[in-house]
């Protein structure tokens, strides 16, 4: 049976043979939740970049821009890092350039995958369907927080593995731990994440509404994936 | 309150401020379980090194030697990586040089800690006592398997955090996940680890007896710690 594993931090990505794997990149709070929301509202493409000045340069070329550092948005960008900011008309048909603290790093480090998808609870069943069709092994890459593993991305990894039961084999310890962490918390994810360091950091920014929304499942049955340097709908 | 965190792999150690932290290094299967067993049987000092030829060079200087790579022991060394091999008379008063796949790497990467201890289930309460006396924050460094997090070291981290309830605060996600993983599995650790990749690797080597022994708690109330480049009893 095909195997699914979890990379708990982008800092560990060199330990995995990315060019042979389907990869799901996840940054629940909030980069990949925002990307899924943007595509569901008609975005045409999203270019993830790591540097803010490059993001601004895309802005000068007609892209809408989105930036986040340490949970907040610097001045001069069109979107902040809230999924609600993408639920607006101007997203329809837009090309957007995005830079975030963790999520865009995770995408860059996974870019050699032949099938890179963007996952969130908001589109989790759609991602599971795609992996069921993929004929090789798969890896879930958690964006984490500045290199450290985080709870919410690990919970997503466990939830996705749970959906793939019967299609993929769990053979590695990180995947086992993610699945166990999810099963323990699945009855009330909000309760589970409220103790986490990143959520406390975000709650300090007054975005409890975002947290709650990013934990909802299958709101948007869209599948963003990487083509070249761009995310597009698959 | 003091804070305790978990570094799930030596590959993430640069994300932690080791010089300010008490560090517990753990490699349950089997390096730190062996070290604790050796000290309980009278070893005078253990020098952890990363290269086999350096280990052999210590042998030429009168040290007993122990080596392990990928779970097995190359020819020409005095001990293999089983705790049972240290339960012998020649260990008493001995100076031993040890090299292993993961554990000695984790010790080297943690050596700037002002208080580095060697932990295993075999001495877990003794380690918890030492951390209760330490007046700063603490970090548990899991040796993992070739850079990847593993289940048994994470379970130890969770068990140690559980013993420190009321003395240390759990503020970070990796520590929360380790504690959750342990609580889920605590009723039957052997059952929990039997699915893990590393244990399957070891069971393939025919050492179920080692696995079982390394999960026993408080068999040896000793506290090995680093002084200079040597592990000694604290």
The pLDDT value recorded for residue A140 is 98
Does residue A206 surpass a pLDDT of 80? no
Look at A48-57, B91-100, B197-206 and tell me which has the smallest mean pLDDT.
Answer: B197-206
Q: By the CB < 8 Å criterion, does A197 face chain B? A: yes
CB contact under 8 A, A177 and B173: no
Return the domain boundaries, chain B: 2-227
Out of A15, A145, A173, whose CB is closest to B147? A15
Does residue B64 surpass a pLDDT of 90? yes
pLDDT 10s digits, A134-176 = 999 999 999 999 999 999 999 999 999 999 999 999 989 999 9
CB contact under 8 A, A196 and B185: no
Which residue carries 């000092």 as its tokens? B45
Out of B146, B149, B184, whose CB is closest to A180? B184
CB contact under 8 A, B151 and A197: no
Residue-wise DSSP of A155-214:
HHHHHHHHHTBTTEEE-SHHHHHHHHHHHHHGGGHHHHHTTSHHHHHHHTTT-HHHHHHH
Burial tier of B127 (Cβ tally within 10 Å: 0-12, 13-18, 19+):
buried
- B78 in Cβ contact with B46 (< 8 Å): no
The pLDDT value recorded for residue A202 is 76
Q: Chain A closest CA to B186's CA: distance in Å?
A: 13
CA distance A38 to A91: 7
CATH class of the domain whose range is B2-227: alpha beta
| Mean per-residue pLDDT of chain A | 94
Q: By the CB < 8 Å criterion, does A209 face chain B? A: no
Contacts with B75 (C-beta within 8 Å, 6 or more apart), sequence order: none
Does residue A53 surpass a pLDDT of 90? yes
Q: Measuring CA to CA, which residue among B177, B174, B151, B179 is closest to residue B164?
A: B179
Q: By the CB < 8 Å criterion, does B171 face chain A? A: yes
Does residue A86 surpass a pLDDT of 90? yes
Contacts with B17 (C-beta within 8 Å, 6 or more apart), sequence order: none
The fold of A2-233 is putative 2-phosphosulfolactate phosphatase (3.90.1560)
Mean pLDDT calculated for residue range A115-130: 98
% residues pLDDT > 70 (chain B):
100
CB contact under 8 A, A173 and B185: no
Residue A15 has phi, psi (to 5 degrees) of -85, -5
Q: Measuring CA to CA, which residue among A86, A82, A32, A41 is closest to residue A64?
A: A86
Look at B99-108, B120-129, B193-202 and tell me which has the smallest mean pLDDT.
Answer: B193-202
- A97 in Cβ contact with A64 (< 8 Å): yes
Does residue A29 surpass a pLDDT of 80? yes
Q: By the CB < 8 Å criterion, does B185 face chain A? A: yes
Per-residue pLDDT band at B198 (split at 50, 70, 90): confident
CA distance A159 to B219: 38
């Amino acid at each position: 049976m095909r195997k699914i594993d979890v990379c708990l931090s982008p800092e560990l990505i060199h330990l995995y043979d990315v060019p042979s794997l389907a990869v799901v990149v996840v940054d629940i709070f909030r980069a990949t939740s925002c990307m899924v929301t943007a595509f569901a509202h008609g975005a045409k493409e999203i270019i993830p970049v790591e540097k803010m000045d490059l993001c601004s340069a895309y802005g000068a070329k007609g892209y809408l821009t989105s930036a986040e550092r340490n949970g907040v948005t610097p001045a001069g960008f069109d979107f902040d890092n809230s999924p609600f900011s993408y639920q607006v008309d101007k997203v329809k048909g837009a090309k957007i350039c995005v830079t975030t603290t963790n999520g865009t790093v995770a995408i860059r480090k996974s870019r050699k995958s032949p099938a890179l998808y963007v996952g969130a609870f908001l589109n989790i069943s759609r991602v599971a369907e795609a992996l069921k069709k993929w004929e090789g092994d798969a890896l879930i890459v958690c964006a984490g927080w500045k290199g450290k593993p985080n709870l919410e991305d690990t919970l997503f990894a466990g939830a996705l593995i749970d959906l793939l039961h019967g299609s993929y084999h769990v053979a590695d310890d990180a995947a086992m731990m993610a699945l166990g962490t999810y099963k323990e918390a699945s009855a009330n994810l909000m309760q589970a994440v409220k103790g986490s360091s990143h959520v406390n950091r975000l709650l300090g920014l007054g975005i409890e509404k975002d947290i709650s929304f990013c934990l909802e499942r299958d709101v948007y049955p869209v599948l963003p994936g990487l083509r070249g340097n761009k995310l597009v709908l698959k």
